[in-house]
Structure 1
Amino acid sequence: MTLKRDLIYFLVFSVVVLFLLFTYVSEKSVVDVEPFAEKDPSIFDSTNLSNSVCLNQNDTDEIRYLAYLPHGTFHEQLTSLENAIFLAWATNRTLLLPPIIFGREILIYKPSYYLYKDLIALKLYNENNSECVWDSEHAKCSKEVQPGLHTLVSWDVLMDMKFPKEQVRVISRESSDFPGLYSFINITDFGGQTHFIPDKELYDYQFYDGLKNKSSDHKYKYMIHLCTLQNRNELLLHFGSLSGIDRLNLELDRNDEFQKELQNHMLIGHPEVLNAAELIIIQLGGPASYLGVHVNLSSHISDDDAEPIMDELIKKILTNSSPEVNNNNNTLFAREPSFQPTSTQILASRCIESLPPEKRHFPIIYLSTNLMRSDHRLSKFFEEFPCAFVLSDFQGWIEPLKNITNPMDNVDLFEFLLPLVDTVVVSRSGQIFKTGDSAFDDYAQRLHEIWQFSDKMFSSLTRRINPIISITRNVPPPSSLPTYIFPTGFSSSNLSATHLITPQINATNIFWSSQVRFRAYGREYQPSNFVRKRRHGFMNRLRTKSGRKVLYRRRLKGRKYLSH
């Protein structure tokens, strides 16, 4: 009898537990699936719109929110961020900002429902799956990057977010899960307080603000007018993917001007990244003294498919490269045939001066690529341009980046920062060439135009600096000076051991670089102490804003050259 009663209790208890479990799963399923229902047709209705409605910007004192699902490489996530900031500004909403997602496995785009599932299933570094190991060489505790794990980095760590935060209210959130999001902004009726705009393809919809243009000027299937977004009254406006450099199709001057102003302020702000890039730029001869090239060939591109792509790139460089850059190189590196390079020279100078005289017109090239230097698909490129450099040629100058870890979880960020260094170096070139139109290319070109404009006043002065003198600024000590492996097709026999003369440097002096003196080798010109001091002062002034103003004023007075 007792056994029978216990069995009945057990069955009743089991039924209750199953019922509660079913109710919980059903509610959670509704919360997760409901936002991904078919698109609301009203979102594409642009009838009865006017400029007065478009400029309304949802003018209300009530705080409303905007969110999106991040994915892709750093540059693709940056594009999504810029588009989200613009939409938050245009709709007068608070942006719920997700962090940068770094990992060896890139979170690729998928339709909204599946992308959301991937986001909430991300495996992050924690105490159970990773161990913080003390690095005595760099005096830090860090976690090595592991396959299958991701780390989340705040945008403020890598980017200058001052301007966006002055224009838009921003709240950072690590998690993308809907239940947590609804709880965070106090949503109780997700059906009535949330408007979700899902996508089934990456190029599903484009946003526009014109009254006549109702068709996409690119590859998007649907057009959504900004007015329809501004008129939404839901507490949360949630998008799927916002990636795409042409996601916004703007005609109104007010919107277009804000987008350009935003893009001009979205600059890389990490000091170590900028410093590493600057050191590499000096090794290439200085800003605008080299060509920037971006080659992005995925692993599934065969040799037969890659060959015409590389041939077209080489042809464009040979026929369209700016004469100003090439002439600048010829002036910088012109030497007597008997000149022998030294180990204190910048890499670009060593390479050019080690070539036969008839080949010294070849341009200096910085190649940003996802391929290894040894990849046979690049062999023809290096044969055509013997003084082409890649990031791996500058190991000594990117070494400080190994000290940088994510303050949130102590994950080593070194390999994730390299694309940012690549971007800065390419953007500071005299001219950019590319094999496609990616988010990397778009951002590098934008930085190129921004810095080209800001450097216009001082670029002619910078280009007159002898690259051998420039090396006194930030060249690493002899013990850490990397050995450059000359490209395929270049004969290293021109560089004998007797030609690589290291100057005497007192390594115990922290100002060791100021002790470097450039003596005459062979028939090389040797300046006087007076000229050396003039150059030292000139270089110091170039480093500061006030110093550059002094140089500019002197240049206006006619002081254009150093006296001998």
Structure 2
Amino acid sequence: NERYLAYLPHSGFHNQRITLENALLLANYLNRTLLVPPVFLGPATEWREFDILLRRILLQTKRGLDHCGRIGKGDPLPAECLNYYSWTTVEWDFFYDMEKINEVQPWKYRPDHSFAWMEANLGIDRNKDVHIVYDQAHYDYQIYDNPNSTYPLDKNRYLRKLELKELSDRTERVLHMGSLFATGRVRAELPEHKAFQDYLRRSMILSTPVLTKTSNAIVDKLGGLGTFVGLHLRVGDGMFVLPAPENIENMFKSLVNITGITPIPNYQALPASTAGDSAAAGDRNNNRPERLDVAQCRARKSEGGRYTTIYIATDGVYPRRNILFRKLFDHFPCIFTLDDFSDLLDELKDKKNYDGVGLSKDLIPMVDAVVSAKGSHFFGTPKSTFSTYVSKQLHPAF
């Protein structure tokens, strides 16, 4: 008579992580075992209404494509294998200690989203044992755990309030939600629920061995845990492109506040065409910007100020050549990015999944996240789920 909660994942890694947290919260409130799907790594599947999203997820399969992984490098791929290497899936315990979570909230791995899988593995009848909560919009409802809550519904995001009792009254063995994405989608107002949410956030800390090993090696080179300032600057896509200059300027002001430096008077960055790293860049603001390597920065660590070591995690391409970052590099000679530690990434770059698909494109941003979280301070990009994860979970944990 075990009862289950199921949901449909979508979007990128951090959105799937937020969805998993919400699903674990809701399963805990309802005293149901959570059916946990794998993490999808690849081009993001966008939200759609329940039936459409379910069909898209069911079509994301490599069943019958084992031969694709055995085709030699450089050999032509048959039509059915053209997208084989563009995506893969891993179980959540690849990233997190899911057994620790299972001690408090039961969960069961769900490798297949079909109702046929449920019937074969859970002993349910899809026609009478499943209740689906359909969502008609990306942010259809927000789930309230406190029946006496005075917290107003954010009508700029959600269409309606969904009370927990409406879900707890369902007697079907499987309660199937659609999307559960969005920070705060499942509220945790009651003390016991807030305590469980805090437990989850302490538990969902990236712990993949290759991530831990690589990030520790980079942190050691920077000077050790808590000896530098971590930044996350998302500038390369979507809604983060236009506000990038303002976000970087605000981050610069934060660095000025904690380091106590005096900004260069009447500072102006040179155009990108002349703002390279080489001597050909010429003088900038009458002084060639100082550039120090890691060893030199560690030697001057006690001076602080402009010699404060700073690590930037970013999706920006070639940050040292990017005009957006120029003001930061010109004021602080001890800024480093992942590009400066490429010699430490070999093991990570060689990491492959069971299907032969490389994992480096997904793991490299996670190394960035972990390294930036191990600084004494962390400053992130507004509205970034990456930054929120680092500031609220990783940085406090480390």
TM bin, normalised by shorter chain, reads: 0.7 to 0.9
2:294 to 322, 334, 348: 348
Between the aligned partners of 2:41 and 2:240, the Cα distance in structure 1 is 28
Which one of 80, 102, 108 corresponds to residue 19 of structure 2?
Answer: 80
Deviation at 1:145, TM superposition (A): 11
Q: 1:173 to 1:132 in 2, by over 3 A?
A: farther
Q: Counterpart of 2:130? A: 194
Identical aligned pairs, as a percentage? 29
Of 363, 366, 382, which aligns to 1:436? 382
Q: Give 1:164-563 correspondences, 5 Å limit.
A: 164-190=101-127, 192-213=128-149, 215-216=152-153, 219-300=157-238, 305-319=243-257, 321=258, 347-351=293-297, 361-373=306-318, 374-407=321-354, 409-445=355-391, 446-451=393-398
User: Whole-Å Cα distance in 2 between the matches of residues 396 and 226 of structure 1?
Assistant: 51
Residue 100 of structure 2 corresponds to residue 163 of structure 1: yes
Residue 151 of structure 1 and its aligned partner are, at CA, apart by 0.7
Deviation for aligned residue 1:150: 1.8
Q: Residues 297 and 229 (structure 1 numbering): CA distance in 2 closer, same or farther, change over 3 Å? A: same
SS at match of 1:440: helix
Aligned-partner Cα distance in 2 for 1:147–1:393: 32
Structure 1 SS opposite 2:352 = coil
Deviates more, 1:365-374 or 1:299-308: 299-308
TM-score, normalisation: structure 1: 0.57
Q: Structure with the greater relative contact order (CA < 8 A, sep ≥ 6): 1 or 2?
A: 2
* Cα contact 1:206–1:249 (8 A) shared by 2: yes
TM-score (norm 2): 0.79
- The alpha-carbon deviation at position 429 of structure 1 amounts to 0.9
Q: Which residue of 2 aligns with 1:119?
A: 57
Unmatched runs of 5 consecutive residues or more in structure 1: 1-61, 135-143, 324-345, 452-564
Q: How many residues align?
A: 354
C-alpha distance in structure 2 between counterparts of 1:447 and 1:303, whole Å: 25
Spell out, residue by residue over 1:182-225, the C-alpha distance to the aligned partner (whole angstroms, 9 max, x if none): 444333353x4222122233322222222322632583332222
Deviation, 1:431, is 0.9
On the 8 A contact 1:406/1:412 being kept in 2, the answer is yes
**Distance in structure 2 (CA, Å) of the matches to 1:206 and 1:322:** 41
Residue 132 of structure 1: how far off its partner (Å)? 5.9
Q: 1:158 Cα shift?
A: 2.2
CA distance 1:254–1:119, shift in 2 (3 Å): same
In the aligned structure 2, how far is the partner of 1:298 from the partner of 1:235?
A: 44
Are the aligned partners of 1:132 and 1:410 in contact in 2 as well (CA < 8 Å)? no
Q: Which runs of 5+ in 2 are unaligned?
A: 74-80, 261-291
C-alpha RMSD of matched pairs (Å): 3.0
Structure with larger Rg: 1
For residues 40 and 241 of structure 2, what CA distance do their matches in structure 1 show? 32
